[in-house]
Structure 1
Amino acid sequence: MTTTPAAVFRPLRQRVSASAFHPELRRVSRFLPNTLVTPVTVWAFARLPRIVRPHPNTDAITLPSGLAVRVHQPSVASTPGGAALLWIHGGGYVLGSAAMDDGLCRRLAEELGILVAAVDYRLAPAHPYPAALIDCYETLTWLAAHPEVDAKRVAVAGASAGGGLAAALALMARDRGEVDIAAQILLYPMLDDRTAMRRDADRGLRRLWNNASNALGWSAYLVGADPHIAVPARRGDLRGIAPAWIGVGTLDVLCDESYSYAERLREADVECRLEVVPGAFHGFDAVAPESAISRRFLTSQCTMLRDRLRISTKG
């Protein structure tokens, strides 16, 4: 059998590709797809039954509008009448649910000793912009008015599309002036729809999220919307919004826009802490939550939240 040049060099290319990943992620990266979000998976996930395991410190509540919120209480609160966090799940604006992040939300609640509320916002394409953002804002105002919460010690956080919604929510809160957000925690956030319009030279290194899924998510979300209003990175004035923490991996297709947004925040005199993880792909902390780099990633977020929410350090 004749061996083709492609067959000869394929193992070499695979080794070179693998070396780009952080050593703690190299093994798992071999088994992950370039993306989990495609038209087929969006269709399938929408039809899968939701399996939610009960937890004694987690309550599923329904707001008067019918919006579902999962509320995670810590076993021991840091202070009575204290701080709270609104968590916004990812899924490219087109899939996901609040329950899928129960583990992370409970971890944050216990680590920080605060109430964590996760919103089940409406998904595109059935509910394009501004439906999800309106749901997030409704939950934010409900949380700020909660009897167990100090309205001046509320932060917002989210991953991927949830990070993009958290950034948009910080802008909406500034513009409306009803809730003074203490911090915005943005994990590999979807901030700029223009990324999906560009050619991705590193597409072979993407895991779980690539430019095709990025384009799918943004196109479903922005139907008929003005991107200069709906997209955080397109907003002209970033002054006066909540201090930010932005975390992203260097192999994430959203890395450059995270850098750019952090730079613009600093230019607008907004405190911004940028955590960049070499060799990490999109959602790496969810895939390998117990790895050292994922633990450091979470610790960095918690440090920002303790500082901005005035939470005493444990121990």
Structure 2
Amino acid sequence: MPLWSAEIDKLRPAIRSEGRAMAEAMSGAFSAVFPGGTATAYDAEALSELRAQLTVPGAVAAVDRYVNGPRGRVRLRVFTPDRPARAVLLNIHGGGFVMGAPEMNDGLNAALSRALDIAVVSVDYRLAPEHAYPAAHDDCETAASWLVEHGAAEFGTSRLLINGESAGANLAAATLLRLRRRGTAHRFSGIVLEFGVYDLSGTPSAAQETDHDVLSAAVLRGMMDLAHPDRSPAERRHPDLSPLYADLTGLPPVLFGVGTADHLIDDTLFLERRWALANGNTTLQVYPDAPHGGTGLPSVTPHWQSALLSFLDSCLTSPGASGTAPAHEVA
């Protein structure tokens, strides 16, 4: 069975061209942080500069909220629709566990809020190496648990969704697994996981050296080493760190998105199969020749956004949903 449609296959030349341009534009910045491909050789100044570039807020209206966590307050960046919210989407940004901020998703989060009449809450979790594991996991769990307990009172709806990209996809899956242990994962009606890392010890594709991805194998290795120092490959396979090794039963419907030129392609394909075996409720979107972050390519975005909106809307219109307004195009 083909992993993508004939319609998508026709876009391959454009995807390939856009993907290589994206890799050329961004790979240098990541390589500057990890010139040797290991945490011991990382450039702290380059990392600081890249972090600053990723924290510029978008030209959209957002409200910052703070909730109490185990080690202090956790910032939440909130977008609310003009009409009563049908659900609340918890967004977890990417950045290899060492960079990134809620602001980098301002445009998409605001658009999703408008398109689906949902509130979007993006969590500003602590970053490595300053804050080692389990700091990021704890902050994301704090945000999710706060929504479980207070979402209805704060936003007028008890329906919850969660999404994440790259390292944020790892954290989104790990957060749901933590909530399942609390007995509250069922409160989430769906999850979207974009080009995530789900095996921190490294899948085969993560180790392959290529020149057509935004993230090289060396950069990936450097990020994992910096975020999880002094942990052996076996220790990195702990289910709280690597959801691929978790018991995945009892989890909600999931939409996966990834490109074949992504070093993390295996992570998505492996986790999707295991999730499907455990729950039978997966949707997989694969884009040929797209690199890491490829759902943002001009030729891919319209298809991915359509799939994303359709999936989220289906989660909201299932039995028990709070509304049935149809999804429309993100603008």
Shift of 1:167: 1.1
Match of 1:278 in 2: 288
Task: State the SS of the aligned residue for 2:211.
Answer: helix
1:188 aligns with 2:181: no
Task: State the SS of the aligned residue for 1:71.
Answer: strand
Match of 2:90 in 1: 86
Shift of 1:305: 0.9
Shift of 1:47: 6.1
TM-aligned CA distance change 1:22 to 1:176, over 3 Å:
farther
1:32 aligns with 2:10: no
Match of 1:14 in 2: none
Output the CA distance in 2 between the equivalents of 1:50 and 1:258: 27
Gaps of 5+ in 2: 1-10, 34-41, 318-323
Output the CA distance in 1 between the equivalents of 2:16 and 2:114: 26
Give the structure-2-normalised TM-score.
0.78
1:312 aligns with 2:322: no
Residues 157-208 of structure 1, C-alpha deviation per residue, up to 9 Å, x if partnerless?
A: 01111111111111111111134221110000111113268774451221x2
* Residues 60 and 106, structure 2, Cα contact 8 Å, conserved in 1: no
Match of 2:49 in 1: 44
Identify the match of residue 170 of structure 1 among 162, 168, 176.
Answer: 176
Residues 4-35 of structure 1, C-alpha deviation per residue, up to 9 Å, x if partnerless?
A: xxxxxxxxxxxxxxxx9641450462343436
1:131 aligns with 2:135: yes
Give the partner amino acid of 1:177: G
Match of 1:15 in 2: none
TM-aligned CA distance change 1:59 to 1:197, over 3 Å:
same
Match of 1:154 in 2: 160
Gaps of 5+ in 1: 1-19
TM-aligned CA distance change 1:275 to 1:197, over 3 Å:
closer
Q: Indicate the RMSD between aligned Cα atoms, in angstroms.
A: 2.5
Give the structure-1-normalised TM-score.
0.82
Match of 2:113 in 1: 109
Greater RCO structure (CA 8 Å; 6+ sep): 2
Shift of 1:217: 2.0
Please say which of residues 80-89 and 191-200 is displaced more in the overlay.
191-200
Output the CA distance in 2 between the equivalents of 1:256 and 1:171: 21
Please tell me whether Structure 1 or Structure 2 has the larger radius of gyration of its CA atoms: 1
The number of residues matched between the two structures is 287
Identity of aligned residues (%): 26
Output the CA distance in 2 between the equivalents of 1:302 and 1:48: 28
TM-aligned CA distance change 1:172 to 1:133, over 3 Å:
same
Match of 1:297 in 2: 304
Shift of 1:134: 0.9
Identify the match of residue 221 of structure 2 among 203, 215, 219.
Answer: 215
